[in-house]
Each structure stands twice: as structure tokens, then as C-alpha cells.
Amino acid sequence: SLSVQTLTPLQPRRHAVEPNRPRWAMGAPPSAALHPRASPSHARRYGLIPMVIEHSSRGERAYDIFSRLLKERIVGIHGSISDDTASVVVAQLLFLEFENPSKPVHLYINSTGGAVSAGLAIYDTIQYICCPVTTLCIGQAASMGSLLLAAGASGERRALPNPRVMIHQPSGGATGQASDIAIHAKEILKVRENLNSIYAKHTKQQIERIEQCMERDMFMSPEEAKEFGLIDEVIEHRPISLVSDAVDNSGATAGGTGGTGNGDKSKG
């Protein structure tokens, strides 16, 4: 059985700025793209994190809520997508593939976007691992967040009824000599071309339509995102099959008469 018993604060990690590293961003102004510490994700506070107490025949074990969700193969992307975000999400995806390469991973997205390099690290990992990744938009999926939403397994990309989805071209900035600025300008055009091709691949839209829509901020409702090809379904309630899986997994891991570790891994 499970209970929420105590709360503990989570302190964000801090990293030094790499001033010479180009940071093309989607969904953030040029200043935030060039200076990681200016990004909202570095100032965000989760505040109090619930601790979940799991009771079994072997005693009690405490998890923070995100670790408990990870145990159920649920991963979340919340807020700005930074290198820190990518590092954590990529590690979770690789770990879950190692645990069971055939069982789906459920990725919940509520993101304003962020650094393109960080987002593409997550995107490439989603495509790389063997287990299918289902995506679900809650709140919003803007910019790089919308690309990750579209990157889920075919037929498994969903949104709740009220989020907003937004696509646009990358933004960035550079300082220095004219020749250096020209180099960075060429690079961001290549980045835009690459992102357009990824959107075209997952939405099945013509590249010309993608280029036109990405020229400026394009906001969509879930139904419009479905029509565009970013998602496959708009849902109001969790599918009963997922509820059944969660109940079965909880029973198998809570101890008592639950199955063995080998029996749990054999499930599809």
C-alpha cells in the first residue's frame, strides 16, 4: 500500500556558465539562449516534494514522488528544457530501457521549450531506445516541447483537452567579429532546416507547409494539433488499459503475494 507522509525541499543544482558555447534556443529570448543561468529553469523552485511511503511485507520504503513515478515508467518534462533537464530525462529513458526494453515509457510534457541541443538530445534518445515512448501534453507543449510531443510512438501521442501547442523557428544571438556572426547565422539556418525536416517526418506534412508554419509563432488547440499531425488523439480520461497496468504493477511490487522479479519482467 502507498501513503503520502512527509514533505522535503529539493534544491536546484547550479552550474557555471560556458560563455563561448553557442546556445540556440526555441521558446526563449536570445539573452536566455546565450546565458544558461538566465533561463527560467535555473531559477525554478519545486518547493516541497512529497515523499511516498510504500508498505510491504519487508517493511517500509520512502521515495520522493518523482522516483516513485519513475518506478511506474512515468517520466516528466516540466518547464524550460536545459542541459540539466536533458541529462536527467536521457538517464531515465536509458535506465527504463535497460529494465525492460519492450515495455512502454510514458512521457508527460508541460514545457515552454528551451535549448535546441538539449531538446535534440532527448529526441534522439527517444528514437534510439527500443521501448516505445508514449507522449502526453499537459498544460502546454511549446517550441522544442512540441517537437518532443510529436516524437512519440505512432498512435501513442496524446493531449488532454485544454493545453496549448506552439511551433516556431529557432531563435538565437551572437556577438563578436562580423565573420564570427556570419558563421553563427549560417549555423542557425542549418538548425532551422533540420528542425523543419523532423517536424515534416512526424507530422507527414510537406516540408513547404512546415517552413511556412514555422516562420512565426503558431499556436494550436489540441484538436488543431491533431489535425496538423503533432498528436494522434485528444483524451479526457486515462485509457482503462493503462489504469489496469498501473494496478497490476502496484500489486506486483508491493510485496506480500506479489509475483517475483522475474515474473514481473516477463510482462509485455
Catalytic residues, which ones? 143, 168
- Which of 229, 239, 235 minimizes the C-alpha distance to 150? 229
> DSSP characters for the chain?
-EEEEEEEE-PPP-----TTS---EESS-HHHHH-GGGSHHHH----EEEEEEEEETTEEEEEEHHHHHHHTTEEEEEEEE-HHHHHHHHHHHHHHHHH-TTS-EEEEEEEEEEEHHHHHHHHHHHHHSSS-EEEEEEEEEETHHHHHHHTSPTT-EEE-SS-EEEE---B----S-HHHHHHHHHHHHHHHHHHHHHHHHHH---HHHHHHHHTS-EEE-HHHHHHHTS-SEE-SS--HHHHHHHHHHHHHHSSTTPPPHHHHHT--
Residues in the chain, total: 268
